[in-house]
Amino acid sequence: MAPGDTQGDQGAPARAPMRQPLRWLWLALAVIVLDLATKTAASAWLDYARPVEVLPFFNLTLLHNTGAAFSFLADHPGWQRWFFAAIAVGASIGLTIWMRRLKVDETLLAASLAMIIGGALGNLYDRLVHGYVVDFLSFHVAGWYYPAFNVADIGITLGALGLIWESLFGEKRRARQRG
Protein backbone atom coordinates (compact mmCIF):
# COMPACT_ATOMS: atom_id res chain seq x y z
CA MET A 1 0.00 0.00 0.00
CA ALA A 2 1.10 3.54 -0.71
CA PRO A 3 1.61 6.07 2.08
CA GLY A 4 -1.73 7.53 3.16
CA ASP A 5 -3.68 4.42 2.10
CA THR A 6 -5.61 2.34 4.59
CA GLN A 7 -7.28 -1.03 4.23
CA GLY A 8 -10.82 -0.60 2.90
CA ASP A 9 -13.76 -2.95 2.42
CA GLN A 10 -13.04 -6.26 0.67
CA GLY A 11 -9.26 -5.78 0.95
CA ALA A 12 -9.04 -2.86 -1.51
CA PRO A 13 -6.83 0.01 -0.37
CA ALA A 14 -8.86 2.99 0.81
CA ARG A 15 -7.40 6.46 0.57
CA ALA A 16 -6.90 8.37 3.79
CA PRO A 17 -9.03 11.44 4.44
CA MET A 18 -7.46 14.84 3.88
CA ARG A 19 -6.27 16.43 7.10
CA GLN A 20 -8.16 19.68 7.69
CA PRO A 21 -9.74 19.94 4.22
CA LEU A 22 -11.61 23.11 5.21
CA ARG A 23 -8.27 24.92 5.39
CA TRP A 24 -8.78 25.32 1.62
CA LEU A 25 -11.49 27.85 2.39
CA TRP A 26 -8.68 30.42 2.64
CA LEU A 27 -8.66 30.26 -1.17
CA ALA A 28 -12.41 30.94 -1.26
CA LEU A 29 -11.83 33.93 1.02
CA ALA A 30 -9.05 35.20 -1.26
CA VAL A 31 -11.39 35.00 -4.28
CA ILE A 32 -14.11 36.87 -2.36
CA VAL A 33 -11.75 39.64 -1.19
CA LEU A 34 -10.18 40.11 -4.64
CA ASP A 35 -13.61 40.03 -6.28
CA LEU A 36 -15.19 42.59 -3.97
CA ALA A 37 -12.13 44.86 -4.10
CA THR A 38 -12.06 44.89 -7.91
CA LYS A 39 -15.84 45.43 -8.12
CA THR A 40 -15.56 48.34 -5.68
CA ALA A 41 -12.74 49.86 -7.72
CA ALA A 42 -14.61 49.37 -11.00
CA SER A 43 -17.75 50.93 -9.56
CA ALA A 44 -15.77 53.94 -8.25
CA TRP A 45 -13.60 54.56 -11.32
CA LEU A 46 -15.75 53.59 -14.30
CA ASP A 47 -18.86 55.23 -15.72
CA TYR A 48 -21.70 52.81 -16.28
CA ALA A 49 -21.67 51.18 -19.76
CA ARG A 50 -18.82 53.41 -21.01
CA PRO A 51 -15.93 51.20 -22.16
CA VAL A 52 -12.36 52.09 -21.29
CA GLU A 53 -10.01 50.44 -23.78
CA VAL A 54 -7.10 48.66 -22.12
CA LEU A 55 -6.00 46.55 -25.10
CA PRO A 56 -7.40 46.33 -28.64
CA PHE A 57 -9.40 43.26 -27.55
CA PHE A 58 -10.07 44.12 -23.89
CA ASN A 59 -12.10 46.88 -22.23
CA LEU A 60 -13.06 47.73 -18.70
CA THR A 61 -16.83 48.28 -18.89
CA LEU A 62 -18.97 48.65 -15.79
CA LEU A 63 -22.23 46.72 -16.17
CA HIS A 64 -24.88 45.46 -13.76
CA ASN A 65 -26.24 41.97 -14.38
CA THR A 66 -29.52 41.02 -12.70
CA GLY A 67 -29.40 37.59 -14.29
CA ALA A 68 -26.91 34.75 -14.27
CA ALA A 69 -24.08 33.92 -16.66
CA PHE A 70 -24.51 35.56 -20.06
CA SER A 71 -27.32 37.66 -18.51
CA PHE A 72 -29.55 34.59 -18.41
CA LEU A 73 -32.97 35.63 -17.03
CA ALA A 74 -31.82 39.26 -16.64
CA ASP A 75 -34.97 40.62 -18.27
CA HIS A 76 -37.31 39.15 -15.65
CA PRO A 77 -38.95 41.31 -12.95
CA GLY A 78 -36.71 40.40 -9.98
CA TRP A 79 -37.55 36.92 -8.73
CA GLN A 80 -34.28 35.66 -10.28
CA ARG A 81 -32.28 37.63 -7.70
CA TRP A 82 -33.54 35.36 -4.92
CA PHE A 83 -33.47 32.25 -7.11
CA PHE A 84 -29.77 32.74 -7.93
CA ALA A 85 -29.02 33.72 -4.33
CA ALA A 86 -30.58 30.44 -3.14
CA ILE A 87 -28.56 28.50 -5.70
CA ALA A 88 -25.34 30.20 -4.52
CA VAL A 89 -26.08 29.40 -0.87
CA GLY A 90 -27.07 25.80 -1.63
CA ALA A 91 -24.08 25.21 -3.89
CA SER A 92 -21.67 26.71 -1.34
CA ILE A 93 -23.05 24.50 1.44
CA GLY A 94 -22.99 21.39 -0.76
CA LEU A 95 -19.46 22.06 -2.01
CA THR A 96 -18.23 22.68 1.54
CA ILE A 97 -19.69 19.33 2.65
CA TRP A 98 -17.98 17.70 -0.34
CA MET A 99 -14.71 19.43 0.62
CA ARG A 100 -14.92 17.97 4.15
CA ARG A 101 -14.95 14.47 2.64
CA LEU A 102 -11.90 14.84 0.40
CA LYS A 103 -9.03 12.38 0.45
CA VAL A 104 -5.40 13.24 1.08
CA ASP A 105 -4.47 13.18 -2.63
CA GLU A 106 -7.31 15.42 -3.87
CA THR A 107 -5.66 18.83 -3.64
CA LEU A 108 -6.75 19.96 -7.11
CA LEU A 109 -10.31 19.06 -6.19
CA ALA A 110 -10.01 21.02 -2.92
CA ALA A 111 -8.68 24.10 -4.72
CA SER A 112 -11.37 23.82 -7.40
CA LEU A 113 -14.18 23.58 -4.86
CA ALA A 114 -12.77 26.54 -2.94
CA MET A 115 -12.61 28.72 -6.06
CA ILE A 116 -16.21 27.89 -6.95
CA ILE A 117 -17.35 28.64 -3.39
CA GLY A 118 -15.47 31.96 -3.39
CA GLY A 119 -16.93 32.98 -6.74
CA ALA A 120 -20.45 31.99 -5.74
CA LEU A 121 -20.22 33.95 -2.48
CA GLY A 122 -18.65 36.98 -4.18
CA ASN A 123 -21.55 37.20 -6.61
CA LEU A 124 -24.02 36.38 -3.81
CA TYR A 125 -22.82 39.46 -1.92
CA ASP A 126 -23.63 41.62 -4.96
CA ARG A 127 -27.07 40.09 -5.40
CA LEU A 128 -28.01 40.59 -1.76
CA VAL A 129 -26.54 44.09 -1.36
CA HIS A 130 -27.11 45.63 -4.81
CA GLY A 131 -29.75 43.44 -6.45
CA TYR A 132 -27.38 42.79 -9.35
CA VAL A 133 -23.87 41.48 -9.99
CA VAL A 134 -21.17 44.00 -10.91
CA ASP A 135 -19.35 42.99 -14.10
CA PHE A 136 -16.51 44.95 -15.66
CA LEU A 137 -14.14 42.72 -17.69
CA SER A 138 -15.07 42.83 -21.37
CA PHE A 139 -13.27 40.96 -24.16
CA HIS A 140 -14.09 41.49 -27.81
CA VAL A 141 -12.84 40.74 -31.31
CA ALA A 142 -14.02 41.89 -34.74
CA GLY A 143 -17.20 43.45 -33.35
CA TRP A 144 -18.10 40.37 -31.29
CA TYR A 145 -18.26 40.92 -27.53
CA TYR A 146 -18.01 38.18 -24.95
CA PRO A 147 -20.40 38.93 -22.06
CA ALA A 148 -18.74 41.04 -19.36
CA PHE A 149 -17.66 39.19 -16.25
CA ASN A 150 -15.77 39.66 -12.96
CA VAL A 151 -13.21 38.00 -10.67
CA ALA A 152 -15.89 35.81 -9.03
CA ASP A 153 -16.77 34.46 -12.47
CA ILE A 154 -13.07 33.72 -13.09
CA GLY A 155 -12.96 31.75 -9.81
CA ILE A 156 -16.06 29.78 -10.76
CA THR A 157 -14.70 29.06 -14.24
CA LEU A 158 -11.25 27.98 -13.03
CA GLY A 159 -12.88 25.84 -10.35
CA ALA A 160 -15.17 24.19 -12.91
CA LEU A 161 -12.20 23.52 -15.20
CA GLY A 162 -10.39 21.93 -12.24
CA LEU A 163 -13.40 19.72 -11.55
CA ILE A 164 -13.52 18.64 -15.20
CA TRP A 165 -9.78 17.94 -15.20
CA GLU A 166 -10.06 15.94 -11.99
CA SER A 167 -13.02 13.93 -13.28
CA LEU A 168 -11.16 13.07 -16.49
CA PHE A 169 -7.66 12.44 -15.19
CA GLY A 170 -7.68 12.35 -11.38
CA GLU A 171 -8.38 8.69 -10.82
CA LYS A 172 -5.83 7.64 -13.46
CA ARG A 173 -3.19 9.81 -11.78
CA ARG A 174 -4.00 8.39 -8.34
CA ALA A 175 -3.88 4.82 -9.70
CA ARG A 176 -0.40 5.49 -11.15
CA GLN A 177 0.75 6.92 -7.82
CA ARG A 178 -0.52 3.86 -5.94
CA GLY A 179 0.75 1.34 -8.28
Show which residues are catalytic.
135, 153
Distance CA 48, CA 171 (A): 46
Nearest to 109 by CA among 174, 153, 167, 156: 167
Distance CA 68, CA 81 (A): 9
Q: For 160, which DSSP code? A: H
Distance CA 142, CA 89 (A): 38
Check: CB of residue 27 under 8 Å from CB of residue 111.
yes
